[in-house]
Structure 1
Amino acid sequence: MSAPIQIGADPSGGPIQIDIEELLATRLLVQGNSGSGKSHLLRRLLEESASIVQQIVIDPEGDFCSLSDVFGHIVIDGAAYSGAEIERLAARIRKHRASVVLSLEGLEIEGQMRCAAQFLSALFDAPRDQWFPALVVVDEAQMFAPAAGGDVSEETRRMSLAAMTNLMCRGRKRGLAGIVATQRLAKLAKNVAAEASNFLMGRTFLDIDMARAADLLGMERRQAEQIRDLSSGQFLGLGPAISRRPVAVRIGPVRTGPQRMVQALAPPPSASPDELHALLHSGLHLEDESPTPPPPAPSAPDAGALLEQIAAVPTEMEEEPVEQPALFAPDQREIDAAVDAILAEMAAEEDCTFQQPARLFQDFTVRCRMNRLTAGHVDMTLFRRRFAMAMAGVTDADKAPWKDILRVARVLSDDLLAPFLVIARAAHEGAACPDDEELARIYGTNSLGRIRRLLEHYERAGLIVVRTDFSGRRSVAIPELSLSTAPLEA
C-alpha cells in the first residue's frame, strides 16, 4: 500500500511525489545552505501529509509553530517544562497520537539539546502497543547530532547524539520515521546521516559538502558542480520513496509560514547627518547616571543602646496596680496586636535575622516594656516562632490560609520556619518563587549553599516539591495545600 503526496514539480512541470508509506521505513535527509529552502521543503512535506500520518517536529527556532493555526498541531514550549514533564508529554503524545511542534527557541543551545534528547528518548521508550507510525522531523539536525564536540558539555553532546542515533537507527521498528535537515553534511554525525535512504539536496557551496552530496546521490564528482547552481527552493532528490534516479524538483507552495518574516529592503532615513548625530548622542550621558540609592534602613540597636533603654524605663511601670486605667491594662487581644506590631517593626529592620536569637529576644522584651506591655506570656521559644511568622508577614494566624500553612509547617523547628513561610506566602499569592539571596536573608546566612540544602531538607520532609524547567526557572509547589509559586526568572 502506498500513500503518495506531491512535494513539487520537475523542470518540465511533471509532478514529483514522495511515498509516505515508503518514507516511514527508509527515512529522509535534507541538506542545504541557509536560504536554500530547507524549511519551505519541510513545511510542504508536513502540510501535504498532515492528514495521513502523525507528525512530531523538533523546532529549534519556532519556525513551524504556525502549523497549529491551519492543521491543529499542538505547540509545546520546551522552555516552560522540566525534564520529567517533557518525558511525560512525549509518552502522552505517543499514546494519543497527537501531532505536535516542540518549540525550543526559548532555550540556549545546551538546553535545546538536553530537552530534545529527553523528548526523543521518551518517544523511543513508548510501550510496544503504542508504536504507531509517526514522522519525526528534526530541523537544524547538526545541532542535536554534531560531528564533533562544541561549546556544550560532553555529557549533553553524548545524550543528544545517542537520542538522534536511536531515532535514525532503531526508530523504524517503533514506528518513528526520522526526517533530519542540516545546513552542512560535514557538521552532521555520520552514523545519523548514514541511516537515511532518501535524500533531498539543496544549494551548497563548499567542496566537501558538494562531494558528500554527490556521493549520496550516486553522481560523479564532476557532476557535483550543479549542486552549487541550484536556486532557492530547488532540490535534487533520490531514494526509494522519491525516485530511483536523481531527479530535480522545485518545491510547491505552502499554506503556512514562519512566525517571523524577514523584512524587505528599506532605504535608510532621509535625515541629514547632523540630525542623525543629534538623535544618537542627545542626552547620552543621562543613561549612565545611576539612580539615587534609597536611604539606608535603620540598623538594629547594639547591646549598649539596649542597656540604656532598659535603664531608662521607669520601674514604676512594673508596679502599677491593677486598678489603673485600661490604657495600662489592655485585654489579651490588644496585647497580641501590640506584640504583632513590635515583631513586625523588628522584622523590617535590616540584617535583623543575622543577630543571635537571645539578643533579639532581649530587644523584644525592652520594646514591650517601652510600650507598657509585659512580655511574660511570650517566652523565648514562642518568640522565635512568632518572629519567624513576622518575617514572612503572617497575619491572622488562626484564619485561612495561614492556619493551614502553619499546620503543614508544624514538623519544622522554629529556626527553619521563616524561609518555608516566605515560600508558602509566594505560593498562596501566585508570586514568583523567592530567590536564594532572599531566602538567605530571611534565614540569616550568607551561604547560598546552605539555602539549597535547606530546600532539599524541606523536600525530603515532604513539604515542598522543587521544579526547574529547561530555562533554569525554579518554582516550588506545596502538594498538601495544592499551591505553587510562579517560576523565578533565571
Structure 2
Amino acid sequence: MTVSIEMGVKPNGTSSVVDLEELLATRLLVQGNSGSGKSHLLRRLMEQSAPWVQQVVIDPEGDFVSLADEFGHVVIEATMNDRELTMIAARVRQHRISVILNLEQLEPDKQLKAAAAFMNGLFDSERQYWYPVLVVVDEAQLFAPAASGDFGEEARRLSLMAMTNLMCRGRKRGLAGIIATQRLAKLAKNVAAEASNFLMGRTFLDIDMARASDLLGMDRRQAEQFRNLERGQFISLGPAMTRRPQKVIIGDVVTGSRGGSPKLMPMPSQPVETAAELIFTATENDPVLNNNRIAAPSAKDVMMQLSHTAASNMQAQHKEVVEAEPEDLFNLEEKNQQYKEIIGKILEDPEASFAPVSQLYQDFQVRCRIDRLKSQDLAKFRKLLSVARAGVGKKEVEDVDWQQAEVVAAQLPEEMRGVYLLLAKAAMAGEACPADLDIAKAYGTRSPGRARWLLTHMEERGFIICASDLRGNRIVTLPDIGKQTATK
C-alpha cells in the first residue's frame, strides 16, 4: 500500500508530499538552527501520518505532549527506572500504541540513560512484534553527540549505542528513525549518515552549512541559500520526497507546542514603588517553582563540611586502630564462598540476567547485610558476577589457564567480560560453543543479534577468532589462552 502525506507546498504552489512507505525504509534527517521550524515540521509529519503508522517520540523538552489530546498518543513520564522503561517499550511494540517519552523532568545524563533504555526496549522486541514504527528523536545531537565532554561517559555511550542501533540496524526491525538536530556538526556522523532523506532548514554556521551541502550533494556556493531560508522553509531531498533538492514550505498544524516562539507585547505601566513592592513582598499568589535541583552550597559550607568529615574520619580510624581485632585470614575463603552463593541466588531469578548491574549490586548489598557480611565494592562484585554468569566452578578458578583468561577478560569493557569467560570455560572444558541466546544472556540482553554483533566486536579487537567449518558450525578460538570451542 502506498500512502503519501502532504508536508506543505513548493514555491510554485504544488503540493510537497512524502511517500510514507518509502520513508519507513529510508529514514529522515531534519536540520535547522533554533527558530527555523524543526518542531513545526516534525509536528506536521506526525499529524499527517498518525492514522497510518505507529509513532514513538523521544521528547527532551515536552514539546509534543499536546499530540495526546488530538491523536491519542500516550504520554510516558520518564521518571521510572531503566528496567521499567525497557519493559514499557516492549509493550508499546506488542500493542502498537503511539507514545511520547517525555524527558523534560530529568537531568541531562538521566535523559540519555532513559532514552537509551526505552530505545533498547523497542529494538530488542520479539520478531513477531516488528511492526513499522516512526521513531522521532528531537534534539538528536543530545542523544548521539559527536564528541564527549558535555555528558557522563556511561550515559553518552549507552545513548549513542541506542541511536546507532536505531539508525543503522533498526530498519529490518520496523524502526524508522526520524531525527532532528540544531547542529549537524554536533551530531555523530555514523548516525546522520544512515538517513537517506533530508530536510535542511535555516542555518548560519559555516561548518553546519558545509555538512548540509555535502549531504545534499550541493557545492559550497549553493550552501549560502541556507542562510536565506525563512522560518518553516526547508530544502528537501531523498527517495521519499524528491530526487533533487527542492524548497518546501511546511503546512499548518492542528496541535501546538506548550512553549511556542516568543512574541513581543507591551510592558506593564506602573510606578517604581509598586514594582519594588511586588517583587520584594511575599504574597499568597507567589508563583510555584517547579525545580527539583538542589541549591549548590557555598564555598564556606563545603570547607566546613570537609573539615568536619576529615576530623570524624581521623577519630574513627584512631578508634579502629585501638579497638579493632586482627582479621581472621582463615575465614577469607569461606567469605568468598558466601559471596558466590549470594550471587548464585540472585542469578536464580530469570530476569536477573537482563537487569542492570547497579540493580543487582543493590540486591547483593541487601543480602550481605542480612547474612551479616561486609559487602564487596562494585569492582569486586562485577568480577564475581562475570564468573558466576559464565557458570565457573572452583576447579576452573584454580586452573592456571583460567587465571590467564581472567587477566585477558579484564582488558574488555565490564559488560563483555562475562561473555569472554563463558567462551573460555567452554573451550577449557571441551564443551560446545555457547549458542547465541546463551551469549546474549551473559551480555545482559535477549537479542541473539546483539550476541553476534558482540562476537564480531571482540574479534575486531583481537580477543577471539571466529570461523566456520564445512557444515557451517561456528568455531571460536581464544588465542591468548590457546583454546578453542566449536558448535557441535
* Range into which the TM-score falls when normalised by the shorter chain: 0.5 to 0.7
Listed as ranges, the matches of 1:157-176 within 5 Å are 157-176=156-175
SS at match of 2:221: helix
- What displacement does 1:217 show? 1.1
Shift of 1:109: 0.6
**Equivalent in the alignment of 1:27:** 27
| 2:195 aligned with 1:196 | yes
The AA in structure 2 aligned to 1:95 is Q
Counterpart AA for 1:42? L
Distance 1:452 1:53, change over 3 A: closer
Deviation at 1:274, TM superposition (A): 4.3
Which residue in 2 is equivalent to 1:51?
Answer: 51
Report the CA distance between 1:280 and its aligned residue: 4.5
Q: What corresponds to 2:77 in structure 1? A: 77
Structure 2: how far apart are the matches of 1:250 and 1:456?
62
Between the aligned partners of 2:190 and 2:218, the Cα distance in structure 1 is 21
SS in 2 for 1:238: strand
**Distance in 1 between residues matched to 2:363 and 2:85, nearest whole Å:** 24
TM-score w.r.t. the length of structure 2 is 0.58
Q: 1:49 to 1:282 in 2, by over 3 A?
A: closer
Alignment: residue pair count: 294
Residues 281 and 97 of structure 1: is their aligned pair in 2 closer, same or farther, counting only changes over 3 Å?
closer
What residue identity is the alignment partner of 1:179?
I
Superposition pairs of residues 410-489 of structure 1, within 5 angstroms: none
Gaps of 5+ in 1: 285-450, 462-490
- Contact 2:35/2:261 (<8 A) preserved: no
Query: Structure 1 residues 274 and 160, CA, compared in 2 at 3 Å: closer, same or farther?
Result: same
The 1:459/1:209 distance shift into structure 2, 3 A limit, reads farther
Any residues of structure 2 matched to 1:105-144 within 5 Å, and which?
105-144=104-143
Q: Which residue of 2 aligns with 1:405?
A: none
Counterparts in 2 of 1:68 and 1:283: CA distance versus 1, 3 Å: closer
For residues 93 and 104 of structure 2, the distance between their equivalents in structure 1, rounded to whole angstroms, comes to 23
Q: Structure 2: how far apart are the matches of 1:131 and 1:460?
A: 45
Match of 1:221, SS? coil
Q: Which amino acid aligns with 1:72?
A: G
Could you tell me how far apart the structure 2 residues matched to 1:205 and 1:11 are?
22
Partner residue in 2 for 1:445:
none
**TM-score scaled to structure 1, two decimals?**
0.57
Task: Give the letter aligned to residue 192 of structure 2.
Answer: A
Aligned counterpart, 2:223: 224
Distance, in Å, in 2 between the alignment partners of 1:454 and 1:134 is: 40
1:12 aligns with 2:23: no
**What's the counterpart of residue 68 of structure 2?**
68
Structure 2 unaligned runs (5+)?
284-361, 373-488
State the alpha-carbon separation in 1 of the partners of residues 204 and 370 from structure 2.
Answer: 55
1:242-278 CA deviation, whole Å, 9 max, x = no partner? 1001010000001111123445322222223344345
Query: 1:54 is aligned with what amino acid?
Result: Q
Distance 1:256 1:459 in 2: 54
Pairing 1:45-444 to 2, within 5 Å after superposition: 45-79=45-79, 81-262=80-261, 264-280=263-279
Counterpart Cα distance in 2 of 1:273 and 1:74: 47
What is the CA–CA distance in structure 2 between the aligned matches of 1:196 and 1:106, rounded to whole Å? Answer: 30
Residue pair 2:133, 2:176 contacting (<8 A) in 1 also: yes
CA RMSD in angstroms, aligned pairs only: 2.2
Q: Distance in 2 between matches of 1:280 and 1:126?
A: 54
1:424 — aligned with what? none
Q: In 2, distance between residues paired with 1:69 and 1:283?
A: 36
Name the CA distance, whole Å, in 1 between partners of 2:281 and 2:9: 57
Q: Distance in 2 between matches of 1:263 and 1:225?
A: 27
